[in-house]
A = this chain, B = another copy of it.
Amino acid sequence: MGRSVARTTVRSGIFRMTQLDPIDRRILEILVADARIPLTELARAVGLSKTPVAQRLKRLEESGIITGYRAILSPLKLGLTHVTYVEISMSDTRQKALEEFNAAVRLIPEVEECYMIAGGYDYQLKIRSRDMAHFRQVMAERISTLPYITSTSSYVAMEAVVEQNWTAI
């Protein structure tokens, strides 16, 4: 079969910051760029035979370094290019309130990212939507009704300069 999707270019230089075995690191770099590469090709690319590469791969998966394999989609083609960051301040930052908030946030499909932040506000959400109208709807119906919110500030993204995607929680 000739795979009809080009290998995604991934800026994987970050892996150099890691204390992995160099061959494991190379395996990860290749797999992050092309999750469907056959073992045969992968082995050739790292300069070993299939047996040790299969072992290494299995170890990387079972140790949880590789958490899965995903298709990567084009937001442009899906009509989901509108990105907004929402900063949220909380009225209650005790553990129970935060956990309640976290659980509620995780139910909103438009939330692509949510971090608790140290500093001026409490949470930062990245919202992906079709357009401004869709974003406003998400804000009105899902975000502003989250528990313990006191205020929000929204910042609309005008251009995506870098969007990297190889991490999982």
Contact = CB atoms under 8 A, between A and B. Distances in A.
Interface of A: 4-8, 10-20, 28, 31-36, 58, 61-75, 77-80, 83, 85, 102, 105-106, 109-120, 123-125, 128-130, 134, 155-169
A161 B165 CA distance: 16
A68 B78 contact: no
A96 B80 CA distance: 27
B70 A35 contact: yes
Tally of this chain's copies? 2
B165 A4 contact: no
A155 B117 contact: yes
- Interface residue SS majority, chain A: mixed
Contact of A67 (B72, B111, B123): B72
B165 A70 contact: yes
A165 B165 CA distance: 5
A58 to B, nearest CB: 6
Contacts of A155: 117-120, 124
Given A106-B11, A111-B162, A72 B80 contact: no
A14 B165 contact: no
A28 B115 contact: no
Contacts of A11: 106, 109
Nearest to A65: B77
